[in-house]
Chains A and B, each alone.
Chain A
Amino acid sequence: MIEIPLLIIVPLLGVFLIVGIARKKSHIAGIISIITLCLIFYLYKNLLGAAGNSGVIVYELGGWSMPEGINLVIDGLAVFMLGIVYFISLIALIYSIPYVKKINDQWKYYALFLLFITGVSGVVVAGDIFTLFVFLEIAAVASYALVSISLEAGALYGAFGYMRMGMISSVLILLGIAISYNYLSTLSISEVAIKLGIRNQAGNLALDNNIVIIFVSLLFFIGFAMKSGLVPFHSWVVDAHAFSFAPVSIMLAAICMPVLGIYPILRIFFNMIGVTPKILSIMMIIGILSMILGTVLCLRERDFKRIIGYNCISELGFVIFGIGIGSKLAIAGALLHIISYSLSSSLLYVSDGAMDSEKKVSNDQNLKITFKSNVLTKVASIIGSMSVVGIPPFNGFWSKMIIITAAWIAGYKGNCMLIVLVLILNAVVFIKVQTHGMFKSKQRNRQSIVVEVPFLMRLCIIILMVFSLFSGVFWLSTQREAFLDPAVNMILEKGNYTKAILWN
């Protein structure tokens, strides 16, 4: 299937086009990147139809077959993840056209954005761990540059913290790849799965007791948990989110953290190494810690973007907790929660960015002035908050309900209580934000420049509002068989992935 490498080539081509053509005329850069993303959507739609029949599509790079060559693979999980990535990045790109007018070299921004999309597509379709690592680094370097692109002091500081964490994590991941290559002398995900499976069946090297495999899985887990900002490694998240542009924050929260962090964890532990109860329980513990700490740290913050940043940590805690339960229902809930989390956090960032463009400053005290000026941003912010807290019609409710139900069925009743407590704390945080923002709107002495929100921004806000209102019901009822079930099957049955690739 020719579409799979095109998913990587097309955005890369867009980068070169922007660097080549649009350096002098910055307004072309936005148009080129929108066209590129629409083209990718077209390719993705073709892939969707093709993957529906057989389940897995494999593309062999350069015609080299399995033991020597590099594979690009599209399966249910990859289709699911790519859908989120392209939808959110299209929204962020449309949103950033009016937003980034204030910086000088817009073409740099768009080129970096497309480079980031290249990296993320590569991570999702990669069939071996080193390709995954290389694309991960491409995406990561692009995102570091995007965070620091506003060249303000805070943004640079946040970018530096992010890079520090990112460097540690990439060194750990590379070490894990080196050790696993040393031990198994292969890099391909499916081959590693087969070799470990054979060793496991022979009985002399059970997964639980094999010290090398335990070490490698720890290295991978720590590395990717750093990328996704789970709790012991969460220090970069808030600083990087708080000072960057709103579309960059959307990208970090909704694409970078789930796809560069959670997706490789799913792929490596469920399709490659294979999960054991110990790994699952570690995931659950880290998930609960992230949920609780992310929400508790929210309580003392006053800046809206920092609050959303901490909230992102706690939402990803939900996801990893759902994965850690390990039953079919729980993993479906976790995947669904990735959707609802990315929608709601981008809705919050979008509404905050619309306020930001009205007032030109993003200080915590000015929150009060600017909520007042536009009904749409107010409503968007409220809907986003309600979705995060888990009020029934919005999509945050459905995914959280599924995760809680799955935890209850699996017998983790104390954890269910903890989750409900976390949700109540979340509600406290967001009620505080909304009441301070909405109802106590006293004018501060600093004058704010009130500008109408641009049309494209309003369009993005409306699309995201509609989706976060309906997608919970929509996903559960109509699209479950098309998207969610193949992804869950691909995660849960380790052999499926390997079989489909090696004996297709």
Chain B
Amino acid sequence: MIYLLCFVLFGVGIYGLLVKKNIIKLIMSMMISSYAVHIFLIASGFRWHGRTPVLDATNTMQKIAMVDPMPQTLVLISIIVSAAFISLLCVVAIRLFQLFGTFDITKIKEKIKN
């Protein structure tokens, strides 16, 4: 179920990236597609009735039922990276809007050519 959601989100994001012309919509589709991958990673580490991945000396037997901690760390790092990315994109978008007065990428391209 969650994997289906990931797939749909990823499809929406890639569709938006390839088709849309508004810069803000482009940025939003980038965010959506990266969130899809994040959800996929988190879902891949999930176990039903899993316990927290902390090992203690007494019950090492329950190691099998642990939630996989690795994807969560990966997602944390990846979220930080994409935050840096998105903020830089927003700066560029704002600057482009100040210069051209439009968010439409094709109009910006025409204005640069002329």
Q: Which A residues are closer than 8 A to B by beta carbons?
A: 130, 134, 137-138, 141, 144-145, 148, 151, 153-154, 156-157, 159-160, 163-164, 167-168, 170-171, 174-175, 177-178, 181-182, 187
On whether A167 and B17 interact (CB within 8 A), knowing A159-B92, A160-B96, A181-B71, the answer reads yes
Cα-based distance from A134 to B44 in the complex (angstroms): 20
CB neighbours (8 Å) of A182 from chain B are 44
* Residue of A with least CB distance to B68: A185
CB distance B95 to A156 under 8 Å?
Answer: yes
Q: Which of A137, A156, A175, A181 contacts B70 (CB 8 A)?
A: A181
Cα-based distance from A262 to B71 in the complex (angstroms): 27
On whether A178 and B26 interact (CB within 8 A), knowing A157-B96, A157-B108, the answer reads no
CB distance B85 to A141 under 8 Å?
Answer: yes
Interface pairs A-B: 9 shortest CB-CB: A137-B81, A167-B30, A182-B44, A178-B41, A174-B37, A171-B33, A175-B37, A153-B99, A156-B96
Interface size class of B (residues with CB under 8 A): 20 to 34
CB neighbours (8 Å) of A157 from chain B are 96, 108-109, 112
CB distance A153 to B37 under 8 Å?
Answer: no
Task: Confirm or deny: B67 has a beta carbon within 8 angstroms of a beta carbon on chain A.
Answer: no
Cα-based distance from A170 to B77 in the complex (angstroms): 13
On whether A168 and B88 interact (CB within 8 A), knowing A134-B81, A154-B112, A157-B112, the answer reads no
CB distance from B38 to the nearest CB of A (A): 8
CB distance A141 to B84 under 8 Å?
Answer: yes
CB distance from B82 to the nearest CB of A (A): 8
CB distance from A397 to the nearest CB of B (A): 37
On whether A168 and B108 interact (CB within 8 A), knowing A163-B88, A182-B44, the answer reads no
CB distance B71 to A134 under 8 Å?
Answer: no
CB distance A163 to B44 under 8 Å?
Answer: no
* Residue of B with least CB distance to A182: B44
On whether A148 and B92 interact (CB within 8 A), knowing A153-B100, A163-B85, the answer reads yes
Q: Which of B33, B40, B44, B92 contacts A160 (CB 8 A)?
A: B92
CB neighbours (8 Å) of B78 from chain A are 174
What are 7 sample pairs from A and B whose C-beta atoms fall under 8 A apart? A130-B77, A137-B85, A141-B84, A167-B89, A168-B17, A170-B85, A174-B78
CB distance from A188 to the nearest CB of B (A): 12
CB distance A168 to B23 under 8 Å?
Answer: no
Cα-based distance from A140 to B106 in the complex (angstroms): 25
Main secondary structure of the interface of B (DSSP, over half): helix
Cα-based distance from A168 to B26 in the complex (angstroms): 11
* Residue of B with least CB distance to A187: B70
On whether A163 and B99 interact (CB within 8 A), knowing A134-B81, A178-B71, the answer reads no
Interface string of B15-38 (1 = CB under 8 A from A): 001000001001000100110010
Cα-based distance from A177 to B78 in the complex (angstroms): 12
Cα-based distance from A132 to B92 in the complex (angstroms): 26
CB distance from B93 to the nearest CB of A (A): 7
Main secondary structure of the interface of A (DSSP, over half): helix
CB neighbours (8 Å) of B26 from chain A are 164
CB distance from A174 to the nearest CB of B (A): 5
Known: A153-B96, A167-B17, A182-B44. 10 other contacts (CB 8 A): A134-B81, A138-B81, A141-B84, A160-B23, A160-B96, A164-B30, A168-B17, A174-B78, A177-B74, A178-B71
Cα-based distance from A470 to B19 in the complex (angstroms): 48
Cα-based distance from A178 to B70 in the complex (angstroms): 11
On whether A141 and B37 interact (CB within 8 A), knowing A153-B99, A167-B30, the answer reads no
CB neighbours (8 Å) of A168 from chain B are 14, 17, 30, 33
CB neighbours (8 Å) of B8 from chain A are none
CB neighbours (8 Å) of B105 from chain A are 160
CB neighbours (8 Å) of B71 from chain A are 178, 181
Q: Which of B77, B89, B100, B112 contacts A163 (CB 8 A)?
A: B89
CB distance from A175 to the nearest CB of B (A): 5
* Residue of A with least CB distance to B14: A168
Cα-based distance from A137 to B111 in the complex (angstroms): 31
CB distance B85 to A181 under 8 Å?
Answer: no
CB neighbours (8 Å) of A148 from chain B are 92, 95
CB neighbours (8 Å) of A178 from chain B are 37, 40-41, 44, 71, 74
CB distance A167 to B85 under 8 Å?
Answer: yes
CB neighbours (8 Å) of B23 from chain A are 160
* Residue of B with least CB distance to A154: B112
CB distance from B90 to the nearest CB of A (A): 11
Cα-based distance from A153 to B102 in the complex (angstroms): 13
Q: Which of A159, A167, A181 contacts B34 (CB 8 A)?
A: A167
CB distance B88 to A141 under 8 Å?
Answer: yes
Cα-based distance from A92 to B93 in the complex (angstroms): 28
CB neighbours (8 Å) of A144 from chain B are 88
Cα-based distance from A187 to B74 in the complex (angstroms): 11
CB distance B37 to A171 under 8 Å?
Answer: yes
CB distance B17 to A164 under 8 Å?
Answer: yes
CB distance B33 to A153 under 8 Å?
Answer: no
* Residue of A with least CB distance to B35: A171
CB distance from A15 to the nearest CB of B (A): 14
CB neighbours (8 Å) of B108 from chain A are 153, 157
CB distance from A159 to the nearest CB of B (A): 6
CB distance B112 to A153 under 8 Å?
Answer: yes
Cα-based distance from A404 to B92 in the complex (angstroms): 43
CB neighbours (8 Å) of B89 from chain A are 160, 163, 167
* Residue of B with least CB distance to A175: B37
CB distance from A260 to the nearest CB of B (A): 14
Cα-based distance from A187 to B68 in the complex (angstroms): 14
Cα-based distance from A130 to B111 in the complex (angstroms): 40
